[in-house]
Amino acid sequence: MNNDVLLEVQNLKKYFPVKGVKGPGVQAVENVSLFIKKGETLGIVGESGCGKTTLGRTILRLYEPTAGRIIYNGKVIFDGGESIPKLDKESGEPIVDKNGAPVMTTSKKIAVDMKPYRRKMQIIFQDPSASLDPRMTVGEIVGEAIDIHNLASSKAQRDEMIKGLLNEVGLNSEHANRFPHEFSGGQQQRVGIARALAVKPEFIVCDEPISALDVSIQSQIVNMLEDMQNELGLTYMFIAHDLSVVRHISNRIGVMYLGSLVELGESYELNRNPIHPYTKTLLSAVPVPDPQVSRARQRIVLEGDIPSPMNPPTGCRFHTRCPYAKEICREQTPVFKEYEKDHWAACHLLEGN
Amino acid sequence: MNKEKTNTGKLLEVKDLRVSFFTPAGEVKAVGGISYDLNYGEVMGIVGESGSGKSVEAYSIMGLLQSPGKVIGGSITCDGEDVISKSKEEMSDFRGKKVSMIFQNPMTCLNPVYTIGNQLVEALRAHNKTISKAEAEKKAMEMLELVGINNIEKRMKQYPHEFSGGMRQRVMIAMGLICSPKLLIADEPTTALDVTIQAQILELMKDIQRKTNMGIIFITHNLGVVAEICDKVSVMYAGKIVEQGTVEDIFYRPSHPYTHGLLSSMPRVDAESYERLVPIEGSPVDMLNPPDGCPFAPRCKQCMQVCLNKMPPYVELGGDHRSACWLRVKEQIDNKEEQTNE
């Protein structure tokens, strides 16, 4: 495996059981495989209910995965223990038998203690006012993580660290004694970011960090996240529904639909040359702030709504709304694979069927 | 519904409208003297951040301002009628028939314990006392068909929770249109929706607007949506319209630094290469203690001394394009001087 990969996820699943309903319940994340390289930003886009937030939280094991594997920095931090293709130790390629079928092996169930990893993997939440305890001062909120992980040897050092963090996110050190409600939305989000940075993480899941903010404030936060990434060498997973923001901040983008990844590619490539029908519709639906461009272009308008993840369609999950759906799409689940260099997708149409 | 096809005159005229909220902490001038016109068949976008007064302005046209909010000055004329002087009873007749409104969150606007059909019929019969129940039901079904809902007979008997977000917004639109209003106020109708559903609703609204020749006021903070659906735009900041013009004026010839700032702080999905965003620094205005001069002055990169002391007047920039900025005033004076020197 590549040394520059920080986080790898294989066949990750997260189901939420529903009381009184037989079967797996809500299939929020279904068979997602991806990797994130050190220092890059992987964007995840999709509509509400597509499982992008659940994916982020499951990767951090804030939700315990139902199945699959999570590998962080070469160490397996979760393994659901199931049959997976056996990989060659040197090349990393799947080993095949005489008939060309992959050799399967059953992995050992693993669920490591996450506390040491919490220092490395952090999260920034969507709603800044809901994710800050209203009864704690900003200093206490930011300092809590420092205490839990014993990062400061003295009170003076702890105060110094809090001051430094607040300055880093563009707040004053006097703000440490104030409560969250005394801040505007943009400032609250800065506090949320300072809290995530307190443990000096390597990897941050940014879960819609700017969706709740005013337009003129959004760009301030986006620029700050970019600056911090350059200074501290952070790796981001940036979850959002706004494709234009994700495209701006990400190196690569994964597109999710109903719990599954349908396409993943380098961000400009994905925009220029989307290969999955869902990505095409999503791109054409984003309004462009330019009257001539937005009135001239052809828009693909999807019929209907997202199906329920409790009872997802058979085969390709997008087939109920896909304008190009064929017989095979209803019957078989398409395989997520690399069609062009660094450009993955899951669609039967790409197979020439 | 096609009665007004030929009507092209002025539908709505707002003159120097002022709305204040009298809170225990002091007077909040939510809307501080705004003026605009809207013709039949026109779509006007009102763009602004939260707290810029864009919704309050719309609520005062509907007569829905809640205490402690009060219209303290100016006039609103809609379809030849003065709105502000109307009594409560006159207002409730005026709403629905002349203007109606669709809101951001359809779930909180539909009653969860009544069926969709029931609510549509109620909306119609509240304004049209003579219509029979059967006729009202027929009309309700026609409206649901117009907004693209299938399986109407069954849908009429369903409750709001049985509809998805996009479908609920369609029901809201059907309810807004059922009394054939002349003016529709849409307060962030697509903000709570996903982009693919937003695209459906925008297409629907454009289509209905073409069919009915309604005037639409479209309140949003999304400039992309504005570019797509609006004919003209008013940009609001801290209770004032800082710039007004056609969509082309606003997007291709923005003249106010705030409009400039909004346009350059947004990443574009069709950008060809990475460009760092240019944010508007600072935070939105505290409406309890607004600055003396131009409200945008504390965040403006081109701020001059005069901006901090006096609110700039509107400068006409040709056609309907006007902006309230001292820079434009200065330009005009410079131009005149040049002309006299020649």
Q: Give the model's pLDDT for residue A15.
A: 94
In this prediction, residue A211 carries a pLDDT of 85
Q: What is the total residue count of chain A? A: 353
Smallest CA–CA distance, residue A277 to chain B, in Å, is 13
Contact A248 B274 (CB under 8 A): yes
Q: How many CB atoms lie within 10 A of CB B104?
A: 19
Identify the band that residue A353 occupies on the pLDDT scale cut at 50, 70 and 90. low
So what's the ipTM on this one? 0.81
Ramachandran angles phi, psi of B57, nearest 5°: -60, -45
Query: How many whole angstroms separate alpha carbon A353 and alpha carbon B16?
Result: 64
Q: Which of residues 171-190 of A touch B (CB under 8 A)?
A: 184, 186-187
Query: What's the rounded Cα separation, in Å, for the pair B133 and B290?
Result: 52
Cβ atoms of A203 and A8 within 8 Å: the answer is no
DSSP bridge pairs for B35: none
If you ran DSSP here, which 8-state letter would residue B4 be given? G
Q: Is the pLDDT of residue A145 over 80?
A: yes
DSSP symbols for A257-274: ETTEEEEEEEHHHHHHS-
- Alpha carbon separation from A253 to A35, A152, A199, A206, A243 (Å, rounded): 11, 37, 27, 14, 9
Please tell me which residue, B46 or A212, carries the higher pLDDT value: B46
* B235 close to B258: Cβ distance less than 8 angstroms: yes
Which B residues 75-104 touch A at CB under 8 Å? none
Q: Decide if B195 touches A, using CB distance below 8 A.
A: yes
One-letter amino acid of A273: N
A239 lies in some domain: yes
Residue B336 contacts by C-beta under 8 Å, 6 or more apart in sequence?
none
Quote the number of domains for chain A.
1
CATH number for the domain including A330? 3.40.50.300
Beta bridge partners of B82: B77
How many interface pairs between A and B have CB atoms less than 8 angstroms apart? 134
Decide: A171 and A17 in contact? Cβ < 8 Å. Answer: no
- Residues above pLDDT 90, as percent of chain B: 49
Flag whether residue A253 sits within 8 Å of chain B, measured between CB atoms.
Answer: no
Give the whole-angstrom CA distance, residue A72 versus residue A56. 14
* pLDDT tens string B28-69: 999 999 999 999 999 999 998 888 888 899 989 998 888 889
Q: Which of A223, A268, A293 sits opposite B279 (nearest CB)?
A: A223
Q: Do the strands A260-266 and A343-345 form a parallel or antiparallel pair, or are they unpaired?
A: antiparallel
Q: Is residue A160 part of a domain?
A: no
Q: Inter-chain contact A287–B280, Cβ cutoff 8 Å?
A: no
The answer to whether residues A255 and A45 touch, using CB atoms and an 8 Å cutoff, is yes
CA distance readout (Å), B246 to A341, B57, B186, B326? 45, 20, 19, 21
Mean pLDDT confidence for B176-202: 87
For residue B61, the distance in angstroms to the closest alpha carbon of chain A comes to: 25
* Nearest CB partner across the interface for A223, out of B223, B268, B277: B277
Question: What per-residue confidence (pLDDT) applies to B35?
Answer: 94
CA distance B65 to chain A (A): 24
pLDDT at B215: 93
Q: Could you tell me if A299 lies within 8 Å of chain B, comparing CB atoms?
A: yes
Query: Per-residue pLDDT for A84 more than 80?
Result: no
In chain A, which residues have their Cβ closer than 8 Å to the Cβ of B298?
none
Mean pLDDT for A250-259 is: 95
CA B167 to chain A, closest CA, distance in angstroms equals 9
Query: Binning pLDDT at 50, 70 and 90, where does residue B341 land?
Result: confident
Do residues A279 and A244 lie in contact, with contact meaning Cβ atoms separated by under 8 Å?
Answer: no
The answer to whether B30 and B5 have CB atoms below 8 angstroms apart is: no
Q: Residue A206 and residue A209: Cα distance in Å, rounded?
A: 6
Structure tokens at B3: 């009665």
Task: Tell me the mean pLDDT in the region A250-264.
Answer: 95
Under the banding of pLDDT at 50, 70 and 90, the label for residue B302 is very high
Q: Which of A280-289, B103-112, B230-239 has the highest mean pLDDT?
A: B230-239
User: Which chain B residues contact residue A47 at CB under 8 A?
Assistant: 194-197
Residue B319 has pLDDT above 90, yes or no: no
Pick B223's closest partner by Cβ from A48, A283, A289: A289
> Is B199's Cβ below 8 Å from some Cβ in A?
yes
A294 and B CB contact within 8 Å:
yes
* Rounded Cα gap, residues B26 and B140, in angstroms: 45
Range of the domain at A105: 5-120+202-351
Q: Please determine, for residue A1, whether its predicted confidence score (pLDDT) is greater than 70.
A: no
How far is it, in rounded angstroms, from Cα A316 to Cα A330? 6
Determine contact, residues B102/B184, Cβ cutoff 8 Å: yes
A302, closest residue in chain B (CA to CA): B196
In a domain, A138, yes or no: no
- State mean pLDDT over B296-325: 92
Provide the pLDDT confidence category of residue B284 given band limits of 50, 70 and 90.
Answer: confident
pLDDT at position A158: 95
Q: Can you give the pLDDT at residue B22?
A: 92
Whether residue A81 lies inside any domain: the answer is yes
Neighbours of B107 (CB within 10 A): 15
Contact yes or no for A248 and B267 at CB 8 A: yes
pLDDT at position B121 over 90: yes
Chain B closest-CA separation from residue A218 CA (Å): 8
Contact B198/A285, CB-based, under 8 Å?
Answer: yes
Mean pLDDT of B301-321: 92
- Rounded to a whole number of angstroms, the distance from the CA of B266 to the nearest CA of chain A is 7
Among A219, A287, A288, select the one facing B277 at the smallest CB separation.
Answer: A219
DSSP tag of B248: H
Q: What is the mean pLDDT of chain B?
A: 89
Q: Peptide bond preceding B68: is omega within 30 degrees of 0, i.e. cis?
A: yes
Sequential DSSP letters for B327-340 = HHHHHHHHHHHHHH
Question: What is the pairing mode between strands A343-345 and A337-340?
Answer: antiparallel
Of the candidates A288, A283, A281, A334, the residue with the CA atom closest to the CA atom of residue A303:
A281
Q: Is A258 exposed, middle or buried (0-12, 13-18, 19+ CB in 10 A)?
A: buried
Integer Cα distance of A20 and A331 in angstroms? 28
Contacts of A247 in chain B (CB under 8 A): 267, 269, 271
For A46, name the nearest residue in chain B, comparing CA atoms only: B194
Of B49, B195, B203, the CB nearest to A241: B195
Does residue A39 lie within any of the structural domains?
A: yes
Structural contact between residues A45 and A71, judged by C-beta atoms closer than 8 angstroms: no
- Could you identify the residue written with the tokens 């609103």? B76
State the Cα torsion B133-B135-B141-B144 to the nearest 10°: -90
Pairwise CB contact (< 8 Å): B247 & A245: no
Instruction: Report how far residue A186's alpha carbon sits from residue A221's, in angstroms, rounded to the nearest whole number.
Output: 8
- Does position A50 have pLDDT exceeding 80, yes or no? yes
A183, part of any domain: no
Cβ proximity of A102 and A85 under 8 Å: yes
Pairwise CA distance, residues A186 & A128, whole Å: 8
Substitution target in B163, B167, B194, B225 with the highest count of A β-carbons within 10 Å is B194
Residue B151, both tokens: 């399986």
Neighbours of A281 (CB within 10 A): 21
In a domain, A162, yes or no: no
From CA A314, how far away is CA A329, in angstroms rounded?
8
Confidence (pLDDT) at B5: 44
| Closest-CA residue of chain B to A214 | B49
pLDDT at residue B129 tops 60? yes
CA-CA distance, B238 to B241, in Å (whole number)?
A: 8
Q: Is the pLDDT of residue B97 over 90?
A: no
**How many whole angstroms separate alpha carbon B342 and alpha carbon A100?**
87
Integer angstrom CA distances of residue A201 from A58, A61, A153: 18, 16, 19
Looking from the CA of B88 toward its CB, the CA atoms found within 13 Å total 2
Torsion of CA A66, B164, A210, A62, to 10 degrees: -20
What CA–CA distance (Å, rounded) separates B107 from B101?
A: 15
Q: Work out the burial of residue B151: count CB atoms within 10 Å of its CB; fewer than 13 is exposed, 13-18 middle, 19 or more buried.
A: exposed
For the stretch A306-349, pLDDT in tens is 888 888 999 999 999 998 889 999 999 999 989 998 999 999 99
d(CA A295, CA A297): 6
- Residue A221 inside a domain? The answer is yes
